[in-house]
Amino acid sequence: MVILLFGINYHCYSQVGIGTTSPDPSSILDIESNNGGLLIPRLSSTQIASIPNPANGLLVYNTDLNIFQFNYGSTVTPNWLRTSRKLSVKCSNTDTTTDVNNNAAINAPIMGSLNWNDDISIYNVDTVNNTITINQTGRYRITVNVSLITTVNGARFTPEMWLEINGTQRGTFGSTGYIRINNNHEESSLHITEVFNLNSGDIVSVAIVRTANAGVVTLRTVGSSNIYIEKI
């Protein structure tokens, strides 16, 4: 009986070493090697989603995305966060003729070209309507840069932009001083960076509108205006 109790006590409080006879006292498992690594379970996205009651902190490797993920949520409502690179999408403009200095706000035409989309299961880009649909609930950083130019003499123009989520203004505004052809002041730019908690199905767009005189203002050159969204 004494021997049995001693054995139980040893298993409860000792550390396990693989490749070492002196595991670190703070560890339960200490692995050392100079020619190999640790290979954890590798699963597809479908297999990960099918894990029954995944523990908080459960770690897997997603073979579809080639990234590590761990369950940040609960066993009932898992939330598989990425521990490696952040997945993002970036679009830029091809349009240099649309007048963005209108009385009624329009979606800024800055999504004509898809520069990259790291995960099409998260981001759905509509290059025609200039919107991006978010398909995974989480926290996102959104950065927008818009370069403007006018060729109209005399009048002063100052378009303003903001981010919209599902057609509703969110966050800060991007504004600029007057631009006009006189004295070589015909170019300017607008910039926004915001962080939002977004829900699956939310639609992101960039609204732009006239706030001063009427007159044609367009995007400056192809690729000079863009939107970048990153899941953080």
Cα dist from 132 to 36, 75, 147, 194, 228, whole Å = 42, 30, 20, 15, 10
Q: Which tokens belong to 212?
A: 């001063």
Nearest alpha-carbon partner for 97 in 144, 150, 161: 150
- Tell the residue number behind the tokens 């109209």, with chain if given: 152
For the domain spanning 88-231, the CATH number is 2.60.120.40
CB atoms within 10 A of CB 200: 11
pLDDT of residue 211: 94
pLDDT exceeds cutoff 50 at 6: no
Range(s) within the chain of domains with CATH label 2.60.120.40: 88-231
pLDDT in tens, 186-224: 999 999 999 999 999 999 999 999 999 999 999 999 999
d(C-alpha 98, C-alpha 105), whole Å: 13
Task: Please state the rounded mean pLDDT for residues 74-103.
Answer: 92
Q: Return the percentage of the chain with pLDDT > 90, whole number.
A: 75
Answer with the residue of higher pLDDT: 2 or 84: 84
pLDDT in tens, 94-146: 999 999 999 999 999 999 999 999 989 999 999 999 999 999 999 999 999 99
- Tell the residue number behind the tokens 């403009």, with chain if given: 93
pLDDT exceeds cutoff 90 at 27: no
Task: Please state the rounded mean pLDDT for residues 139-167.
Answer: 94
Mean model confidence pLDDT for the chain: 90
pLDDT of residue 5: 39
Task: Give residue 185's pLDDT band: very low, low, confident or very high (50, 70, 90).
Answer: confident
